Amino acid sequence: MEYFAVDVFTKELFTGNPAGVCVLDRPIDAHVMQKIAFENNLSETAFLLKRDGYYDLRWFSPKVEIDLCGHATLASAFVLINFIEPNPGCVRFQTKSGELTVKKTGDLYMMDFPKKKPVPCASPPMLEKALGVKILETHIARDLLVLLDSQKTVAGVSPDFSLLREIKDAFGVIITAKGGDCDFVSRFFAPYAGIDEDPVTGSSHCMLIPYWSERLGKTEMTAKQLSARGGSLICRDLGSRVGIGGSATLYMRGTIRI
């Protein structure tokens, strides 16, 4: 099968979030996909299989299959549009989270994703100790959203991952604050899925966009994820859906021999 490694939410190699994209020429078993994702050891590897007018899309972390992944979806669209079916303008995927579309305008790939508005919740007892900072608010949908006081605080957090693994009620933990040079910033931790820190997380913005749209009174926003690699996103509140956009660049193209 053809294999691509793509850096996402960036225009520069070795920044943003790397994703693996496997373009299948035939169906393969899920346990083989999981072995490939483990072998790749990226936060997510995507698997694409062409159907009639769309592609089946599945995502695997090194440990588990994921129900929704933003950066590997954008990477998949980037691969299809630039290398497999040049210039379609828009691609459709069927996934565990329903139909997803990605449209290309210039260098921007805009994903239409489900909206996951978080609701206020109690903070898990060990969370402040795990993060080592004062928590202002906590909200939950798929992930636990944690509001901190500033961009500087978000950037400086050094989590105790052994404690974060004890939080069982959410897939991942998002820390976020109002931005200085953008509308909001975040970081994302998912040690349960074998991802201590994800460099740039599209799916977390399904929660972050409605949260910050309501808080800031804006439907179009810019965001940055403050991991060591870093990345930038264009964010839109579309009402019942969200738009998550960014750029991508190819790192590698090759063949997986199975």
Distance CA 193, CA 210 (A): 25
CA 213 to chain centre: 19
Active site residue 44: yes
CA 27 to chain centre: 25
DSSP-assigned letter for residue 31: H
* Encoded tokens for 164: 């974060």
- Out of 44, 85, 99, 220, the active site residue is 44
How far is it between the farthest Cα atoms of the chain? 51
| Residues tagged active-site | 44
